Amino acid sequence: MRAAIGTLILATSLVQLANGFFGTLISLRVAIEDFGSTLGGIVLSSYFAGFTFAAMRCGRIIERVGHIRAYAAFAGLVAAATAAMPLWVDPVAWLVLRAIVGFGCAGLFITTESWLNAKAPPDQRGRVFAIYMVGTFAALAVGQLLIAKADVGSVRPFNGIVALFALALVMVSTTRAEAPRIPAGATLPMRQLARAAPIAVAGCLLSGIMSGTFYSLLPAWAQGEGIDRRTIALFMFAAVAGGLAFQVPVGWWSDGTDRRRVLAMLAVGFAVAAVALVVLPHTMPIVLTLAALLGGFLSTLYPVCVAHAHDCMAADRVVAVSGRLILVSGIGSVIGPLLGTWIMAGFGINGVLYFMAVTAAVLAMLAWSRSTRVAAPPHEERSFDILTPQASPLAHALRHPTEPSPDPAAP
């Protein structure tokens, strides 16, 4: 059992290593290819569109063919789409292929996280997920550093990404562990969730917009500002590292007070850091410090929204609530790069940072205003989970309604 769980964690870390590198690579490559602001934004958004669609469909695929076959299919899909991209450099082709990559990556994360959740012993689940999340965060961060040495304009980075996905496929396909089944969850009308937890829904949408914009466009912004590729790599590394560093402190903070006010303060912090990145000198210490702050504030918005939504809903709706919030966040992640590229084209390269700052400010005002008018709901035991950028929301939708979320700090 330990060997099987370790194989899954290591394989997913390889996937996140490739995924972190791939996201930054595409942002830079789209700028180099000069697809135009509209098409470029659509290409960057298509990953999140595929990712969101997969969140709604992949569970049924896994139920039908099993975890191991599903993992092999998703990894093969990602590898094939990645290999095709340098062979067919066209905005429409990349739009389709990048959406396929998003769908396949979501499928890989769904398969792995539901497998871990089902197979990890209950008394060790918190420890297993803590190791899993730290491993994926670390791999995602290291993936950003690879961009410093990559020949962005060549086919070689794509070949390296394909190799990493293929290696993960080999590791999981040869495991002898018995795969679990995914339990079905109850449905939940979006209108009912919006009435019960309006700030959670709005927060997931707005944080999705910010997250999609950040990971899709910030490398291109840095390149447009004349920042060298090594610093861009360190910038994205610092953002992911900041995201990991903020998770536990913000979790403790949100568990002890009104989560809507925590959400508002995080959004204010993000807005201030985004504006500071424009107005302060772009020296290495300043850029990296602000990157860590941006990543930290951004990565904790979604889990606070999820925890607040769970506070507002009955315990037997955990899976349904999380599934709806995934959809809302995914829609925001698709919208973000589209609006961001349009704003960059019309208002200059710094427009994307002002756009994210304004979005964060709107979220802060909504959350704080609601907290002054409506009493906070009581906190539930299933409070706050460490979530990785780009992948994390999917773990929630695949937990059984009667199972509490794993506590990353559990022994």
Q: Which long-range contacts (CB under 8 A, 24 or more apart) does 184-189 make?
A: 185/319, 185/320, 185/323, 185/397, 185/400, 185/401, 186/316, 186/317, 186/319, 186/320, 186/401, 187/320, 188/317, 188/320, 188/321, 188/323, 188/324
Q: 250 and 297 share a domain?
A: yes
Please tell me the predicted confidence (pLDDT) of residue 26: 92
Q: Which residue has the higher pLDDT, 50 or 378?
A: 50
Q: Is 276 part of any domain?
A: yes
The residue range of the domain holding 163 is: 2-173
Shared domain for 120 and 225, answered yes or no, is: no
CA distances, 295 to each of 48, 123, 134, 302 (Å): 18, 31, 15, 12
Mean pLDDT computed over 364-392: 72
Within this chain, do residues 164 and 216 fall inside the same structural domain, yes or no? Answer: no
The H-or-E segment that residue 199 falls in is helix 198-224
Q: What confidence score (pLDDT) does residue 388 get?
A: 52
246, part of any domain: yes
Is 289 part of any domain? yes
Domain C-terminal end among 139, 173, 207 = 173
Q: Are residues 138 and 238 in the same domain?
A: no
Q: How confident is the model at residue 314 (pLDDT cuts 50, 70, 90)?
A: confident
Dist CA 282 CA 295 (whole Å): 17
pLDDT attached to residue 95? 94
Q: Please tell me the least confidently modeled range out of 158-162, 171-175, 257-261, 362-366.
A: 171-175
Cα distance from N-terminal residue to C-terminal residue, the chain:
18
Residues 147 and 237 in one domain: no
410 within some domain: no
Identity of the amino acid at 45: S
For residues 211 and 142, membership in a common domain is answered with no
Encoded tokens for 138: 């670390």
pLDDT tens digits for 263-299? 999 999 999 999 999 999 988 899 999 999 999 999 8
Burial class (CB within 10 angstroms; exposed 0-12, middle 13-18, buried 19+) of 4:
middle
Least confident of 161-170, 208-217, 282-291, 398-407: 398-407
Percent of the chain as helix, strand, coil, to the nearest 5? 80, 0, 20
263 lies in the same domain as 370? yes
Task: Look at 136 and 362; give whichever has higher pLDDT.
Answer: 362
User: Which pLDDT value is given to residue 404?
Assistant: 40
Residue 261 sits in the same domain as residue 118: no
Residue 399 has pLDDT above 80, yes or no: no
Residue 135 shares a structural domain with residue 214: no
For the record, the structure tokens of 3 come out as 């060997």
Residue 245 pLDDT greater than 50, yes or no: yes
Q: Tell me how far apart the alpha carbons of residues 216 and 221 are, in angstroms, rounded to a whole number.
A: 10
The pLDDT of residue 189 is above 50: yes
Top mean-pLDDT range of 37-41, 52-56, 357-361, 387-391: 357-361
> Is 50 part of a structural domain of the chain?
yes
> Above 90 in pLDDT, residue 353?
yes
Considering its fold, how many domains does the chain have in total? 2
104 vs 100: CA distance, rounded Å: 6
Task: Inform me whether the pLDDT recorded for 403 exceeds 70.
Answer: no
- pLDDT of 408 over the 60 cut: no
Asked, for residue 409, whether it belongs to a domain, the answer is no
Which CATH number covers residue 271?
1.20.1250.20
Quick one: pLDDT band at residue 185, thresholds 50, 70, 90? low
Calculate the average pLDDT of the chain. Answer: 83
Whether residues 373 and 241 share a domain: the answer is yes
pLDDT above 60: residue 82: yes
| CA-to-CA dists, residue 241 to 137, 206, 285, 329, angstroms | 7, 22, 15, 22
- Please count the other Cβ atoms lying within 10 Å of the Cβ belonging to residue 365: 13
pLDDT digits (tens, 9 = 90+) for 125-184: 656 766 777 788 888 888 888 888 888 889 999 999 999 999 988 988 887 666 665 555
Half-sphere exposure of 55 (CA within 13 A, CB side): 26
The domain boundary, picked from 173, 199, 234, lies at 173
Question: What percent of the chain clears pLDDT 90, i.e. is strictly above it?
Answer: 34
Instruction: Provide, rounded to the nearest whole percent, the portion of the chain with pLDDT above 70.
Output: 83
Are residues 246 and 390 located together in one domain of the fold?
yes
CA distance 20 to 223: 17
